[in-house]
Amino acid sequence: MSDCLFCKIIAGDIPSVSVYEDEQIFVFKDINPVAEVHILAVPKKHIKSLDEQTKEDADLLGYMMGKLPELAQSQGLADGFRTIINTGPGGGQEVDHLHIHIMGGSKLPGFT
Ligand code: AMP
Ligand code: ZN
């Protein structure tokens, strides 16, 4: 999608600090981290949100979930990590390209 911020980041049209990339996903540092480690994993395919997924996306989304421990460990999160997926305005989603927040480290805030 041409006016999507994360599609532009994936394409390299907007700079980011990439930490991992393969054929299906792109992973980069959040520009406004709320924890010592805060990265975002996005599918290269533009999927607006979990609400917009189709049956054809099941393998891709499963692949992303399976990658999370490896991605967290690559950032030094050996003891575990937190994931958040905000969905739609009611879920606080600000960027309309599905993304998984991966967070951890000593500054991980409380979550209540
Ligand atoms: P969400 O509220 O779940 O949609 O989260 C969007 C996230 O994208 C926020 O944590 C922002 O800090 C992050 N973000 C926005 N613009 C950029 C950018 N240019 N590079 C990296 N992260 C960004
Ligand atoms: Zn997009």
Assigned domain for 99 exists: yes
What is the pTM (predicted TM-score) of this model? 0.96
pLDDT above 90 for 111: no
As for how many domains the chain has, the answer is 1
CA 82 to chain centre: 12
Q: Is the CB of 95 under 6 A from ligand 1?
A: yes
Assigned domain for 110 exists: no
Range of the domain at 46: 5-104
* Ligand 1 pocket mutation pick from 30, 101, 103 by most atoms within 8 angstroms of CB: 30
Based on the residue annotation, tell me whether 99 is a catalytic residue of this protein.
Answer: yes
Catalytic residue from among 38, 46, 97, 99:
99
Taking the C-alpha atoms of residue 46 and residue 52, their distance in angstroms, rounded to an integer, is 10
Q: Is the CB of 31 under 6 A from ligand 1?
A: yes
> Which residues, in sequence order, are bridge partners of residue 103?
38, 82
The string of pLDDT tens digits covering residues 90-106 is 999 999 999 999 999 98
Assigned domain for 61 exists: yes
| Structure confidence at residue 109 (pLDDT) | 77
| Structure confidence at residue 1 (pLDDT) | 61
Q: What CATH number does the domain containing 16 carry?
A: 3.30.428.10
Assigned domain for 91 exists: yes
Q: Is the CB of 93 under 6 A from ligand 1?
A: yes
Angle at 57 between CA 60 and CA 35, to 5 degrees: 55
